[in-house]
Amino acid sequence: MIQAKNALFIFVTAAALLADARTVFSAVSVNGVDQGHAVGVRVPSSNAPITDIESDDLICNTNFIQPVSDAIISVVAGDTVTAQFHHTSAGYVGPDPSDPLDPTNKGPVLAYLASIPDATQSNVTGLEWFKIWEDGYDSVTHQWGSDHLFLNGGNASFAIPTCLASGNYLLRAESINLSSATSYPGAQFFMSCAQLSISGATAFISPATVSFPGAYTSTSPGIVTSIFGVSSYTPPGPDVFAC
């Protein structure tokens, strides 16, 4: 009996390790062209989640792999940008059942931009963010954004709006694990920021903006929620900006 209990304990521990849903956004593609691992991306050295939505770490993560890239990725308004997520900070390192994240992870995937004087500056407080893309929950297929991220090998792709002023921007791409989010804290936030230079817009519209921290609260319905018996789900944060 004692042996059986030990065996059960080992099994449960192994299962818990396998369910490690952690993920890191560590590379960008532009129109399908890979810019390289950690090039123009501030990659956190740990794949641990941020759980405190009042922390400045919610902006772009923390404890970046050094030196942080000084590359700024050039994109043209309307280009398709892909944020590449993988299980660890190392990017894709070979077959891994939890790459790009453990498929039992359920939650939305989102992308934001903020104008910034210099995309390589370390200070990211006080930026004004707008959401350019989100993938929440499809009530017909019952798939979450995280399911699509898994099926797409970690690639979250979206278009850069065609009406933005030229200049430097940070791209904040985020995957949220809602598996134990029925109370706060509970939701787990995985994000990095990429350094972009955007040009080529043909029209100019100033997006409404939000701040981080601030855009998410401990009572936001998209953050305090159950993944079970979901009929519809609205991701946290503002509406997606459209030109």
Which residue ranges make up the site for ligand NAG (CB under 6 A)? 19-21, 29, 32, 34, 82, 84, 102, 104-105, 123, 125-126, 152-153, 155, 177, 179-180, 188
- List phi, psi (to 5°) of 24: -135, 130
Judged by beta carbon, residue 20 or residue 138, the one nearer ligand NAG is 20
What is the DSSP annotation of 103-125? Answer: TT----EEEEEEE-S-TT-S--T
Nearer to ligand NAG, 21 or 60 (CB): 21
Please give the single-letter amino acid code of residue 227.
I
Q: How far is the CB of 179 from ligand NAG (least distance, A)?
A: 4
CA distance 23 to 96: 12
Can you tell me the distance from the alpha carbon of 137 to that of 109, in angstroms, rounded to the nearest whole number?
10
Residue whose CB is less far from ligand NAG, 163 or 186: 186
- Closer to ligand NAG at the Cβ: 97 or 202? 97
**Choice between 179 and 201, CB closer to ligand NAG:** 179
| Shortest separation between residue 203's beta carbon and ligand NAG, angstroms | 27
Q: Which is nearer to ligand NAG, 82 or 131 (CB)?
A: 82
Instruction: Supply the minimum distance, in Å, between the C-beta of residue 235 and ligand NAG.
Output: 16
CB atoms within 10 A of CB 119: 23
> How many whole angstroms separate alpha carbon 76 and alpha carbon 80?
9
Q: Dihedral sign, CA of 113, 117, 122, 127?
A: negative
Site of tokens 């941020």: 50
Minimum gap (Å) between residue 123 Cβ and ligand NAG: 4
Rounded least distance, CB 34 to ligand NAG, Å? 4
Shortest distance (Å) from residue 3 CB to ligand NAG: 27
**107 Rama sector, left if φ>0, alpha if ψ -120 to 50, beta otherwise:** left
> Residue 216 CB, nearest distance to ligand NAG (Å)?
17
CA nearest 214: which of 136, 132, 125, 142? 125
User: Which CB atom, from 19 or from 205, has the smaller least distance to ligand NAG?
Assistant: 19
Q: Name the nearest CA neighbour of 135 among 173, 180, 171, 94.
A: 173
